[in-house]
Amino acid sequence: MKVSDFIAKFLYDNGINHVFELSGGMITHILDSINKAGKIDIITMHHEQGASFAADAYGRIKKIPGVALATSGPGATNLVTGIGSCYFDSSPAIFITGQVNIHEQKGDKSIRQLGFQETDIASIVSPITKAVFKVKEASSIPSIFAKAFKIALEGRPGPVLIDIPMNIQRMDIDVLDTELVKVASHPETIIDNAEFQNLKQDILNAKYPLILAGRGVCVSSSEQLLLEFAEKYNIPVITTLLGLDIIPYNHPLRVGFIGSYGNRWANLSIGKCDLLIVIGSRLDIRQTGADVESFQKNKIVYHIDCDHNEINNKLSNCIPIVTDCNQFLVKYLAYFKTEKINTDDKWIKSIKALNESWKDINEITDIEGINPNQLMHDLSHYSDKATCYLADVGSHQMWAAQSLELNLYQKFLTSGGMGAMGFALPAAIGACFANDRKPVVAIIGDGSFQLNIQELQTIVRNKLPIKIVIINNKSLGMIRQFQDSYFESRHQSTVWGYNAPNFEKVAQAYEISSITVSKKELLISAIKTMWDNPQEPFLLQVMIDPKANAYPKIAFGKPITEMEPHFTPLDMEGT
556 within some domain:
no
Residue 374 clears pLDDT 70, i.e. is over it: yes
Co-location of 347 and 371 in the same domain: no
- Stretch 476-493: mean pLDDT, rounded? 94
Q: Do 48 and 197 belong to one domain?
A: no
The answer to whether residue 570 sits within a structural domain is: no
Res 188: pLDDT? 77
Q: Within a domain: residue 439?
A: yes
561 occurs within a structural domain: no
Predicted local confidence at residue 184, as pLDDT = 63
Length of the chain: 575
Q: What is the pLDDT of residues 89-142, one digit of tens each?
A: 999 999 999 998 888 888 888 888 877 887 899 999 999 999 999 999 999 999
Q: In this predicted structure, what is the pLDDT of residue 102?
A: 83
pLDDT per residue over 432-447, tens digit each?
Answer: 999 999 999 999 999 9
Q: How far is the C-alpha of 293 from the C-alpha of 302, rounded, in Å?
A: 16
Mean pLDDT of all residues in 214-230? 95
Stretch 485-508: mean pLDDT, rounded?
A: 95
- Is residue 235 in some structural domain? yes
Say yes or no: 230 and 321 in one domain. Answer: yes
Task: Answer yes or no: do 466 and 390 share one domain.
Answer: yes
Asked whether residue 52 falls in the same domain as residue 160, the answer is: yes
* The pLDDT value given to residue 416: 94
Of the pLDDT bands very low, low, confident and very high (cuts 50, 70, 90), residue 178 is low
Q: How many folded domains does the chain comprise? A: 3
SS (H, E, C) 178-194: CCCCCCCCCCCCCCCHH
Q: Are residues 122 and 201 in the same domain?
A: no
Question: Taking residues 551-558, what's their average pLDDT?
Answer: 90
Spatial neighbors of 348 by CB under 8 A, at least 6 apart, are 234, 236, 252, 253
168-177, 206-215, 500-509: the lowest-pLDDT one: 168-177
Three-state DSSP class for 105?
coil
For residues 293 and 227, is the Cβ–Cβ distance under 8 A?
no
Q: Are 396 and 541 in contact (CB under 8 A)?
A: no
pLDDT on residue 311:
86
Establish if 438 belongs to a structural domain: yes
pLDDT band of residue 283 (cuts 50, 70, 90) is: confident
Please classify residue 567 by burial: count the beta carbons closer than 10 Å to its beta carbon, then call 0-12 exposed, 13-18 middle and 19+ buried.
middle
- Indicate the pTM of the whole model: 0.95
pLDDT at 453: 98
Average pLDDT over residues 528-555: 96
Q: Are residues 459 and 379 in the same domain?
A: yes
Whether the per-residue pLDDT at 574 is higher than 70: the answer is no
Check which CATH number belongs to the domain holding 347 and give it: 3.40.50.1220
Instruction: Please identify, among 357, 387, 409, the residue that sits at the C-terminal boundary of a domain.
Output: 357
* 141 and 85 belong to one structural domain: yes
Pick from 49, 50, 67, 69: nearest CA to 58: 67
**Of 528, 414, 397, 512, residue with least CA distance to 459:** 512
Helix (H) or strand (E) holding 125: helix 121-125
What pLDDT score was predicted for residue 186?
66
pLDDT at 323 over 60: yes
Q: Is the pLDDT higher at 191 or at 224? A: 224
> What is the pLDDT of the chain when averaged over all its residues?
93
Same domain for 227 and 325, yes or no, is yes
Query: Are residue 371 and residue 352 in the same domain, yes or no?
Result: no
Kindly report, residue by residue over 179-204, the tens digit of the pLDDT: 677 776 666 778 888 999 999 999 99
H or E segment and range at residue 170: none
| One domain, residues 221 and 293 | yes
Range of the domain at 461: 361-551
Confidence (pLDDT) at 209: 96
State residue 105's pLDDT score. Answer: 80
| 104 to 27, 100, 117: CA distances (angstroms) | 16, 6, 10
Residue 135 confidence (pLDDT): 96
Of the residues 300, 322, 357, which one is the last residue of a structural domain?
A: 357
2, pLDDT greater than 80: yes
Q: C-alpha distances in angstroms, 86 versus 33, 62, 284, 357, 365? A: 26, 14, 17, 38, 37
> Cα(478)–Cα(135) distance, rounded to whole angstroms?
43
Contacts of 481 (CB under 8 A, 6+ apart): 395, 549, 550
Residue 102 maps to which CATH number? 3.40.50.970
Q: Which of 331, 357, 383 delimits the end of a domain?
A: 357
Tell me whether residue 151 is in a domain.
yes
Tell me the percentage of the chain whose pLDDT exceeds 70: 98
| 391 and 532, same domain (yes or no) | yes
526 is a domain residue: yes
d(CA 274, CA 23): 55
